[in-house]
Amino acid sequence: MNPDWLYGLGGGLMIGLAAALLLLLNGRIAGISGIFGAMVAGRPDGDAFERLAFLAALIGVPALYVFAGGAPAANAPASAPLLVAAGLLVGMGTRMGGGCTSGHGVCGMSRFSPRSIVAAVTFMLVGAVVATLGRHVIGGL
Amino acid sequence: MRVLVSLAAGGLFGAGLVVADMINAQRVQAFLDPFGAWDPTLAFVMGGAMIPMIIAWALSKSQKPAFADAFPSKRSEIDARLISGSAMFGAGWGLAGFCPGPALAALSFGGWPVSLFVLAMGAGMWGHDRFIARTVPA
């Protein structure tokens, strides 16, 4: 089996374990758009400090890995207009749809929530169409 | 204690994204695009992440969270907001190869493109809650 897939499975188990810890201990959904969105768009409430801690570690642990000599590559597209358009779509869309790959994908589908399954199928299909058109028809993604 | 749990969960989540190489936008796009050199890694990540969570939801039926009163209630509405929001999110995801978690995890090393994406994402979230949330029928 391709080692990349095994790393994917292992990393996925870590992500799922993190989400399970947050659910079973704190009773919270590990949905990144929900946690980040509440920080930037919501009113501060009793959970604000917890959200800050989650996000600080989410950003900080990969930063520590880089500091220790790791060299992960983000390989982001280098077009500023494309990044702004994509970021706006992701920000507005995840708030409107109530979740992203983690909230609907990891946490919702594992609960067999029809709402989350509909959301995940929708963003997977649209994402596939846009990525395919962008790479083959328009080119340059 | 809840803050410590959040710190541990966020760190493990970020480490998992790096181990799985989901912080690599090109690998994510190579999953979404089946007509290039298709890369199934994202499916393994999703499958791996579902296993602990299926167990966690099963456990949640017979107990309470350790540091909270109750588990989150299950929402069931399938409406225009869910579909149109998810479609918009999918379009942005396909365009850039980033969803919220990987973009934040890549913030420290992704240079200006990741910073710009996260800035726009935050602006989109703020703009939605400020201008759209109340005008779109729930």
- pLDDT for B30-78, tens place per residue? 999 999 899 999 999 999 999 999 999 999 999 999 999 999 999 999 9
Taking the model in full, what pTM does it have? 0.95
Given an 8 Å threshold on Cβ–Cβ distance, is B52 in contact with A129? no
Q: Which residues contact A133 (CB under 8 A, 6 or more apart)?
A: none
Confidence label for A141 from pLDDT (cuts 50, 70 and 90): low
User: Which residue's structure tokens are 């913030």?
Assistant: B107
Distances (CA, A) of B51 to A46, A75, B32, B43: 30, 29, 22, 13
Report the chain B residue with the minimal C-alpha distance to residue A50: B3
Average pLDDT over residues B101-130: 97
The pLDDT value given to residue B138: 42
Confidence label for B135 from pLDDT (cuts 50, 70 and 90): low
| Alpha-carbon span A113 to B14, nearest angstrom | 25
Cα dihedral B115, A20, A95, B67 sign: negative
Distances (CA, A) of A21 to A46, A62, A107, B58, B66: 20, 19, 12, 14, 10
ipTM of this complex prediction, to 2 decimal places: 0.96
H-helix or E-strand spanning residue B117: helix B111-127
Q: How far is A6 from chain B (nearest CA, A)?
A: 8
Which of B95, B99, B126 to mutate: most A Cβ within 10 Å? Answer: B95
Residues in chain A with CB shorter than 8 Å from the CB of B60 are 23-24
CB B1: neighbour CB atoms within 10 A? 9
| B18: nearest CB among A62, A90, A111 | A62
Distances (CA, A) of A85 to A108, B83, B91: 27, 19, 10
| Alpha-carbon span A65 to A72, nearest angstrom | 9
DSSP strands (E only) in chain A? none
For residue A105, give both structure tokens. Answer: 């994908």
The pLDDT value given to residue A128: 97
Which of A126, A133, A135 to mutate: most B Cβ within 10 Å? Answer: A126
Residue B116 near residue A112 (C-beta atoms within 8 A): no
**Alpha helices of chain A — where are they, by DSSP H?**
3-21, 32-40, 48-67, 80-97, 109, 114-132
Given an 8 Å threshold on Cβ–Cβ distance, is A86 in contact with B132? no
- The DSSP symbol for B137 reads -
Residue B90: how many CA atoms within 13 Å on its side-chain side? 25
Residues in chain B with CB shorter than 8 Å from the CB of A12 are 16, 20, 44-50
Residue A95 near residue B125 (C-beta atoms within 8 A): yes
